[in-house]
Amino acid sequence: MPPDGSTKTPRTGRRPGESSTRESILEAARRQFAERGYVGATMRSIAKEAGVDAALVVHFFGTKANLLSEAVEWPFDPDVEMPKLLAGGKRHVGERIVALVVRTWDQEGARDPILTLVRAATIEPKAAEMLGDFLRKRLFAPLMERLDSDQPELRTTLAASQLVGLGLARHVLRVEPLASAKPAAVVDWYAPTLQRYLAGKLG
């Protein structure tokens, strides 16, 4: 899942045509995970849509959890967004991270893979691990390092628990008035929480 959305460089030794078959499977997987969810999409149904044998999907990707991890394209690139989160100074990091998350979740195309992952994470430990790894390693670890706050792992967890809860409430449970609120209002409501979790006094 390279951030620019390019296809992966095939490993050496791969036969010609292999990488395009692989890519067809990934495309079918992305569509099916988004439409049917992690449980509804099966290795067999994905193979069928890609026009290949199910055994080939297993050969390339092993397990469904691994196929999910290869298929998900993160909707933003942490290396690009990270400097922006801190561009306003430490005092504005809470506001900035809520704005980033609301902007990302509010775009339907960007929201689908995250929703697929969050849904999968509630039932499949490997998907939960994968979601946790991305959030920790790619997003929060570099952020916490630059913020230089104490208890970085705890802060990561607290922040993630609120951001995932916000996404669920706004886009899955769709509770009002949150579901229809303007992004700027959502940022106002949640920014103080994230500011405290990331850089404030924890209690």
Mask: binding to a copy of itself, 93-122, rule CB under 8 A, as x and -?
A: -------------------------xx-xx
Torsion of CA 40, 43, 46, 51, to 10 degrees: -150
Size of the chain, expressed as the number of residues it contains: 203
12's tokens? 């050496």
Q: CA separation (Å) from 165 to 25, 150, 172?
A: 31, 24, 10
Smallest separation, CB 177 to a copy of itself (Å): 5
**Helices 64-71 and 125-133: angle between axes, nearest 10 degrees:** 30
Check: CB of residue 118 under 8 Å from CB of residue 38.
Answer: no
Q: Which is nearer to a copy of itself, 39 or 55 (CB)?
A: 39
**Which listed range, 46-54, 62-70, 100-108, 188-196, lies at the site for a copy of itself (CB under 8 A)?**
188-196
Residues in contact with 147: Cβ distance below 8 Å, sequence separation at least 6, in sequence order:
86, 90, 93, 198, 199
- The single-letter code of the amino acid at 68 is L
**Which listed range, 14-22, 102-110, 124-132, 142-150, lies at the site for a copy of itself (CB under 8 A)?**
124-132
Mask: binding to a copy of itself, 126-145, rule CB under 8 A, as x and -?
A: --x--xx---x---------
Mask: binding to a copy of itself, 56-95, rule CB under 8 A, as x and -?
A: ----------------------------------------
- Give the count of residues interacting with a copy of itself (CB under 8 A): 44
For residue 111, give the nearest of 156, 153, 174 by alpha carbon.
174
164 is a site residue for a copy of itself (CB under 8 A): yes
- The single-letter code of the amino acid at 143 is L
**Which listed range, 22-30, 45-53, 59-67, 177-185, lies at the site for a copy of itself (CB under 8 A)?**
177-185
Q: Contact positions toward a copy of itself, by CB under 8 A?
A: 37, 39-40, 118-119, 121-123, 128, 131-132, 136, 153-154, 156-158, 160-166, 168-170, 172-178, 185, 188-193, 196, 202-203
